[in-house]
Structure 1
Amino acid sequence: MKSILDNKRNDVLSLLNSGHTVAKIVRRVRVSKATKLTIENKRCCVQKIAKDGLGNAIQAKEELSHSLKINVSADTVRRTLKNYGLGALPEVKKPDISDDNAKERLLWCKDRIDWTLDNWKRVIFTDELRKTRKHGGGRIMIWREISYSRIGWLCKIEGNLNSKLYKSITDDDLEQCIDEMSQKLKLRRDQVIL
């Protein structure tokens, strides 16, 4: 059991004698019951997660009960980890890409692995994005081009994107980007890669 200072002990005793509840005394004096984990046990718990690769508090709890013969709850382990600056992270969001599309992208990247900065300066990337607001908030679809020389304007797409609409967007905005890029980088229009 951890020891407390004499003046705190005297404060606790006087508050108990005057009829205060334990909860009020704990809040007022800032003294709580002893924890199950010692400092060494807490360090061991943190090490099991950080270095030994245990995935979560439940696994750490089981490991502590097995190796140190200490029976603690998963919440105790979580609090300990939080006090040491460790906590749960949200799952990393990955783009929803099919296996065939992933292989195609990898081949595309491998073909260009030896490209220089001058080669990449000639490339224009285009992308469209659809965002839907939940609970009837509606949806919006946008298109944009990105190149070395600029990030293009956002184009709001009304309705569904079909080949006719895509061509009208590229005719307006992409042509302007190609012109600006070829002037800035002193390239011919046919040297720009889409």
Structure 2
Amino acid sequence: MVVGARRAGLSISQSAQLLGFSRTTISKVYKEWCEKGKTSSMRQSCGRKCLVDARGQRRMGRLIQADRRATLTEITTRYNRGMQQSICEATTRTTLRRMGYNSRRPHRVPLISTTNRKKRLQFARAHQNWTVEDWKNVAWSDESRFLLRHSHGRVRIWRKQNENMDPSCLVTTVQAAGVMVWGMFSWHTLGPLVPIGHRLNATAYLSIVSDHVHPFMT
């Protein structure tokens, strides 16, 4: 590219601006090509030597996998432990970006147990062929807590572009003190909104179903 730019009539400054190299590099590469007819040796000597090789990248990748929420300072400190040549935070950031990692805010998802996650998947697979007419005969209900105050804590994690829904890249939401209500809806209409002033256990849930769902469905 350097030789092509110079032979096309571009000056050293113009070539440097176009290709993103320094004027010194442009001058040396073109001079070597004119004298030796090749530029391979110069290409190897251009630029700063990478401080984190392939082995170092694998080490840094393991650190990320072990703690997605680690700060840049923490990653750098942990990486430098036991290493002969230490690196700075700027090098850590550059290496992570080269590996495809960026600092992102994690997706927030409800706290669901492994058992309930499997049950939901089984339900989805069992009803994947249902038609709209089938779903019109279903009533949906759920309870929700409206928080009196929210946490403003911000969490950031390191992840690649395709890891946004990886379990290690998610933050679960846990509901705090607030007002709990129960409600339901169907294809045709909305059901009642029922305040819940106590813990919703199996007995309380059956009581709500008996008092509100049956009249709603009839």
TM over 0.5: no
TM interval, shorter chain, is 0.3 to 0.5
TM-score between both structures, scaled by the size of structure 2: 0.39
* Greater per-residue strand proportion: 2
Q: Which has the higher contact order (CA 8 A, sep 6+)?
A: 2
TM-score by length of 1: 0.43
